[in-house]
Structure 1
């Protein structure tokens, strides 16, 4: 089942908070750290799995199917320049497979290729990832909804997460909405309530 709230995790985040975030109801964690070598990324992924899986949370790895398989993760999230969704589905039929999409047509294509969910965004303006295209807005979420579960990303807070759910999103993925908050666990609880 696709989580409703993904928290993106890098080595630089306060990993000691992960058990509390999972206990607060964060049901998905996406390991994304492009600065790490393969072995270190496997180690980080295993560490995340060890502390959040007891709460029932799922762990997916951004971009790297090899790391997801080596670490025993629950899934993989693929960007537009990564391994093709169809290849990931063939190589790892039991994993949760997500695909980055920006239009309904891309969501339809991802579904046909075997994706389980679509990462959709950025919906709102964000500075968590440089070089992103212009925000899509909530109308794009509504237009793309109904094909695959949409996990929207980009500039999300508890208030905007609730708006995204109302617009047709299955759930949200956040970086700054948790990690840049003065109290990440409180932020997570508010986000869980917003997408619940």
Structure 2
């Protein structure tokens, strides 16, 4: 099945959320303009991940923010999340789209060829990176640099990830990124809500 047109639902600023983060801040993050939350808890089994995702959904229920689940289509469907983000070793995008035609689906990509493949399989957006060096996830490939985004533009929206903070947003947007996904740029900042507000301003309209 081909991709359903979900472009208006792709977040501009996604904050990745784990079991270690302060979920009480989520409503404030959404209020300042974070329009996507991706739940990623790599060590959690299905039951614990469902519970965590339900907490995130509850925290932003009265906002326009989208909630996606990293890796686990089954969890996303079970708890009524808005979407799923799939990496290279996860369920194939085409299978996820067949099972969940209405879900927002993202795919991790590092080149235009991978973006084209993901789009053909039904992905709504490509999580592109890591753009810069990051310490938020172990074992990631070497950073691509913002210039790697430009050849991949024009297929589906690119959401840049990897080492992004407010000071680096302009470079990735200029290179063609539709949006950004952030971990440390929010959670490791002394003022996570203030950092999110700066990121939203840097992304612009």
Q: TM-score, normalised by structure 1?
A: 0.98
Match runs of 1:1-196 below 5 Å: 1-196=9-204
Please give the secondary structure, in 1, of the residue aligned with 2:34: coil
Q: Contact between 2:14 and 2:38, CA under 8 Å: does it hold in 1? A: yes
Q: TM-score, normalised by structure 2?
A: 0.94
Gap runs ≥5 in structure 1: none
- Runs (4 or more) in structure 1 with deviation over 2 Å come to none
Which residue pairs with 2:4 in the alignment?
Answer: none
Please give the secondary structure, in 2, of the residue aligned with 1:55: coil
Instruction: Return the alpha-carbon distance in structure 1 between the equivalents of residues 144 and 155 of structure 2.
Output: 18
Shift of 1:131: 1.0
CA RMSD of aligned residues (A): 0.7
Gap runs ≥5 in structure 2: 1-8
